[in-house]
Amino acid sequence: MQVRIEWVYKKKKGPSVTFFSEEMKAQAALLVAEDLEKTGRVKEIQFIDGDHQTWSVKEMKKFIEGIQTEPHDAVIYFDGGYDIGNHQAGLGAVIYYQQNHKTYRLRTNAGVDEMESNNEAEYAALHFALRELEQLGVQHQEVTIKGDSQVVINQLKDEWPVMEEGLSKWADRVENHMKMIGVRPSYELISRKQNKEADRLASQALEKVEVRSTKEIEN
């Protein structure tokens, strides 16, 4: 979870001053807040999350302790491959996440029929990744979503209009699934090279090669 710190600086004489930090991970923000408290100059301190909810230091400590045993800080890479000849698509998803102070990577793919375009395949790949995220147990968290599809990323960021009815249905499906599991997305458009893991998985799905593996990643 990304948060901002709000703290009120106090001095023996004179007015108090309120400061705000830039957004940072909750774990880092808690360390900064605890360090600020040691100065003896903090009159009040709290955290503000992406939904503008406020957290006390005590509440933030409890939250961070609670999520350590659950998957969190997830990053999704997705890619869809499309065979125009038979209207089949290959879906590739890579999910990095933290759990018990370790980093894991889930790699998985799937093949689907009756796709109408490459853009539909890209949307289907993201929806597939969200279903995998749900199975991991990631809920009510901020999630970073990375893909090389300008159409999907820019449409979901509301920077491009969704003109095609088929894509509009897929966009609704994706956004509704996020709402259902409480995911707050942060989208990032990346290059095809940066998305090579998901791209490879999508290609393997088109070749009828099924992949599913989870591996601990050394930090």
Per mean pLDDT, which of 27-41, 63-77, 175-189 is the most reliable?
A: 175-189
pLDDT band at 144; cut points 50, 70, 90: very high
**pLDDT at position 138:** 92
pTM for the full predicted model: 0.80
Q: What pLDDT is stored for residue 166 in this prediction?
A: 93
**Of the candidates 80, 167, 87, 94, which has an alpha carbon nearest to the alpha carbon of residue 129?**
94
The domain locations on the chain are: 2-67, 72-217
Query: What is the per-residue pLDDT across 147-183, written as a single tens digit (0 to 9) for each?
Result: 999 999 999 999 999 999 999 999 999 999 999 999 9
Torsion-angle region of 3 (φ positive above 0: left; ψ -120 to 50: alpha; else: beta): beta
Which stretches of 158-204 are assigned E, i.e. beta strand?
184-189
* Res 49 pLDDT > 80: yes
Q: What is the DSSP string of 79-125?
A: EEEEETTTTEEEEEEEEEEEETTEEEEEEEEEEES---SHHHHHHHH
**pLDDT beyond 80 at 122:** yes
Query: Among the CATH numbers 3.40.50.720, 3.40.50.1360, 3.30.420.10, 3.40.50.150, which is that of 72-217?
Result: 3.30.420.10
